Amino acid sequence: MLLPDNIHPDNSVYYNGAIVLQVLQNNGNMELFELYEQAKSVKAMSFPLFVLCLDWLYLIDAAILNSGEVQPCS
């Protein structure tokens, strides 16, 4: 759920996805695990939550994964 009502908003896919997208836009194309480490340094998140964020960013056409490299969409 993107905006659950039973947890803090900063634990949602929506909020963490925004952090991942911000890191990606600031740095351009990044390797998957490098992006995870950078995003985790901004806000602690688990790897499964990070993957859910990438799924959400892909679904809204904000990022794509190409051969292990994550790229922001224009």
Q: Write out the DSSP string of 30-57.
A: EEHHHHHHHHHHHS---HHHHHHHHHHH
pLDDT digits (tens, 9 = 90+) for 44-71: 999 999 999 999 999 999 999 998 899 9
Report the pLDDT value the prediction gives residue 48, as an integer from 0 to 100. Answer: 95
* Residue 21 token pair: 């997208």
pLDDT band at 7 (very low <50, low <70, confident <90, very high): confident
Report the pLDDT value the prediction gives residue 60, as an integer from 0 to 100. Answer: 95
Identify which has the larger pLDDT, 51 or 7.
51
Q: Where are the domains of the chain?
A: 9-72
Radius of gyration of the chain from its Cα atoms, rounded to whole angstroms: 11
pLDDT digits (tens, 9 = 90+) for 17-39: 999 999 999 999 999 999 999 99
Domain 9-72 has CATH 1.20.120: no
**Residue 71 to residue 73: CA distance in whole angstroms:** 6
Residues 6+ away with beta carbon under 8 Å from 14:
2, 3, 56
